[in-house]
């Protein structure tokens, strides 16, 4: 554990993440956090772990199974890998937020697009966890939900990353149901349509 780790709870306020930027938050139960797609068609990946025990992580798999849907939507609950509630989606303008799991990284860009050493969401999320002195090697792909990311699941079994439908100002509001560490990554991916090939700023508002 780093001796310089941030231990402060996050204060209310609005932060604009530049393209490819990141933000680490430590939220108390009851606080709300809004993610605003300022210019539209931009993905924000996020991970979460319980403060009580950071080895209890957000689980995209348990969340989508509890919902019976691939995409996160208003009114539903995000669960941990021990099936405890972590967030409630209290408001959502879009209804398309990918929960297949995973995040972009230099590894995925290498096998999928043949490019080396690109900056990815994983790098941002590692930075977020290091800020708290948490073990970045404990981050796993099931821990990540990709806000505004649109993946089509075709009848013939194919899945396809497409451009998001989010418009400027579209927002999702999450209410924390436990004390949590949260890491955000404004997705840097430019090799597929997930950000419409144009990465843009995002805002995060803590209440």
Question: Strands 77-79, 44-50: parallel, antiparallel or unpaired by DSSP?
Answer: unpaired
Rank residues 36 and 121 by Cβ distance to Zn ion and give the closer one: 121
Rank residues 102 and 132 by Cβ distance to Zn ion and give the closer one: 102
Of the candidates 173, 172, 159, 162, the residue with the CA atom closest to the CA atom of residue 197: 162
Rank residues 82 and 198 by Cβ distance to Zn ion and give the closer one: 198
Decide: is 139 part of the binding site for Zn ion (CB under 5 A). no
Decide: is 189 part of the binding site for Zn ion (CB under 5 A). yes
Q: Could you tell me if 32 and 88 are in contact, meaning their C-beta atoms sit under 8 angstroms apart?
A: no
Decide: is 36 part of the binding site for Zn ion (CB under 5 A). no
Q: How far is the CB of 195 from Zn ion (least distance, A)?
A: 8
Rank residues 24 and 187 by Cβ distance to Zn ion and give the closer one: 187
CA–CA gap between residue 23 and residue 182 (Å, rounded): 8
Q: How far is the CB of 59 from Zn ion (least distance, A)?
A: 19
Decide: is 187 part of the binding site for Zn ion (CB under 5 A). yes
Q: How far is the CB of 68 from Zn ion (least distance, A)?
A: 26
Rank residues 21 and 50 by Cβ distance to Zn ion and give the closer one: 21
Q: Cα 192 to the chain's mean position, in Å?
A: 18
Token reading at 40: 């539209």
Q: How far is the CB of 144 from Zn ion (least distance, A)?
A: 9
Q: Which residues from 63-122 bind Zn ion, rule CB under 5 A?
A: 104, 121
Q: Which residues from 141-170 bind Zn ion, rule CB under 5 A?
A: none
Q: How far is the CB of 147 from Zn ion (least distance, A)?
A: 11
Which parts of this chain interact with Zn ion (CB under 5 A)? 104, 121, 187, 189
């Amino acid at each position: 554990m780093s001796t310089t780790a941030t231990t402060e709870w996050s204060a209310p306020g609005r932060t604009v993440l530049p393209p490819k930027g990141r933000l680490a938050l430590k939220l108390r139960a009851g606080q709300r956090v809004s993610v605003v797609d300022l210019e539209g068609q931009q993905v924000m990946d996020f991970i979460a772990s319980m403060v009580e025990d950071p080895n209890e992580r957000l689980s995209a798999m348990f969340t989508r199974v509890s919902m019976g849907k691939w995409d996160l939507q208003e009114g539903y609950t995000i669960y941990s890998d021990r099936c405890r509630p972590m967030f409630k989606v209290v408001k959502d303008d879009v209804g398309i937020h990918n929960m297949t799991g995973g995040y972009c990284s230099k590894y995925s860009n290498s096998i999928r697009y043949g490019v080396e050493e690109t900056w990815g969401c994983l790098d941002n999320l590692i930075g977020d966890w290091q800020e708290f002195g948490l073990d970045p090697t404990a981050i796993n792909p099931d821990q990540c939900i990709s806000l505004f990311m649109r993946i089509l699941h075709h009848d013939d079994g194919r899945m396809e990353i497409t451009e998001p439908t989010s418009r400027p100002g579209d927002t999702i509001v999450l209410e924390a149901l436990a004390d949590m560490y949260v890491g955000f990554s404004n997705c840097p991916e430019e090799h597929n349509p997930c950000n419409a090939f144009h990465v843009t700023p995002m805002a995060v508002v803590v209440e």
